[in-house]
A and B are shown apart, each in its own frame.
Chain A
C-alpha cells in the first residue's frame, strides 16, 4: 500500500486525500524562520508592530515623570505574543508603554475589554472585563495557547 498522500499545489479542485494532507504536514527545510512576516499580515498585526516600533524610539523620561524606555524583554515578549496570535481575527489593539518600560496590549470588542501586560517577569498579566461582572485579573503562562485562550474569550459572543 502506498503510504503517501498526493496533493497538487495550485489546483483549485481537490480530493478528500488532498484535504487530509493539508498544511499540517508542510514545513520548510530551513529552520531559521522569520517569526512574523508582515506581508499579507492582518491589519491589527501591522498596526500593533508599527506602534511598538514607534514606542521603541521613546527616550528615558518620555512621560515627563522619569518613564523608562521600552525594555528589550518587553519588546521581544510583545512581538512573540503578536506572532503567536497573528492567525487570529482580532481588532487593532492599543499598544501602551508602561512607566517601567513594559508593554500593555489593550483590545476592545463589543462590551468586552482585554488588557495583556508583557515584559514584567516570566508570565503574562491580564485583566478581562465585560458588562456582566467585576473585572477579572490574573496571570498566565507565556505561551501561544494561553494567549489564544484569552483572545478567544474576547471575540466570543
Chain B
C-alpha cells in the first residue's frame, strides 16, 4: 500500500481553535409530527425544564424539511411542510442557551449575546443536548404522545468574522477564505462591492449533506460589519437507535470542523489560535 493511501486510512486528529469566531451553534432533531402534541404540552414540558430555562418566547413554527438523497426531476432538493402550530422557546436567564420545541422538532441553541461569552465546546453542548433530548423523549412517553420517528437531524455553526479582524475590504477576502483570491489582483474584478459563496457536499454513506455559506452583512447583535460563515450538516442517522443518532451528530461535527479548517486561510488560523 502506498504511503498516501496509508495516510488516508489513518484517522487524523480533529483540529481545534482556542478563539473560534463562532456566534451560534444549533442542534436540531426533526421527527414526524406528533399529532396529539398541543400548546398545553409545551407548558407541561416547560415545567420540567423551567429551572434551567426560566424565560419563554412564542415564535412561528419552522418548516418541516427533508433532505433528499437525489434531487427530484426539475425541482429543488427539499420538501417542506408548514405546520400550523406554534414553536416555543425556553431560554436560560442570560439568554445564551435555549431549547426550541414544536410538534415535529426539538432544537437546542447556544449563542453569544454580549460577544465575550466563551464557547462551551461541542462535547459540553452535545452532552447537554443528549440529556435534554432524553427528558423530552421521557415526556413524550409519559404523555402517550406517540412514537418519535426521526426523519432529519441538523447541526449548524454560525461564524461571524468582523471587519478589522483579518480583513478590511472585500479585496482582502482571499486572505480569509482559501479559493476566493482574485485571479489578478490588478484586474478588473479585484474589488467587489460584495461577495458571497455557497458550497454543498455529500456526507458519506448517504448520511446527508454538508453546506457552507458565506455572506457579508451587519451583525444584528452589535451592527458590526461581518463576514458570516454558516456551516451546516443535515441528514438522517443510519438507524433509529440513540447510538446511531449521536454518531450522526459526531460525524456532522467532524465535517463542520474540518470544513472550517479547509475553507479558511492559515493566516486566520493564527488569529483564531488553531491547535495542531
Contact = CB atoms under 8 A, between A and B. Distances in A.
Contacts of B78: 9-10
Contacts of A76: 222-223
Interface string A52-94: 0100000000000000000000011001100100000000000
Interface residues of A, number: 35
Interface stretch (B41-49, B58-66, B135-143, B262-270): B58-66
A41 B76 CA distance: 23
A99 interface: no
Given A25-B61, A32-B111, A8 B221 contact: no
B225 interface: yes
A136 interface: no
B84 interface: yes
A32 B224 CA distance: 13
A3 interface: yes
Contacts of B5: none
A31 B95 CA distance: 11
A24 B60 contact: yes
B26 to A, nearest CB: 5
> Interface on chain B toward A: helix, strand, loop, or mixed SS?
strand
Contacts of B60: 24-25, 27
B81 A34 contact: no
A49 B63 CA distance: 32
A30 B33 CA distance: 20
B247 interface: no
Contact of B81 (A4, A27, A30): A4
A6 B81 CA distance: 4
Nearest to B61: A25
B75 A8 contact: yes
A53 B168 CA distance: 11
Interface residues of B, number: 54
A29 B105 CA distance: 10
A26 B62 CA distance: 6
A34 B218 contact: yes
B194 interface: yes
Contacts of B107: 29
B111 A31 contact: yes
A49 B216 CA distance: 12
Given A10-B76, A41-B194, A80-B223, 6 more contacts: A6-B80, A9-B79, A21-B80, A29-B100, A32-B112, A49-B218
Interface of B: 23-24, 26, 28, 33, 59-64, 72, 74-85, 87, 89, 98, 100, 105, 107, 109, 111-112, 154, 156, 158, 160, 193-196, 215-223, 225-226, 228, 230
Interface of A: 3-11, 21, 24-39, 41, 46, 49, 53, 75-76, 79-80, 83
24 contacts: A3-B84, A4-B64, A7-B80, A10-B75, A10-B77, A11-B75, A25-B60, A25-B61, A25-B63, A25-B83, A27-B61, A27-B62, A29-B100, A29-B107, A32-B221, A33-B220, A34-B219, A35-B217, A37-B217, A39-B195, A39-B196, A39-B215, A46-B194, A76-B223
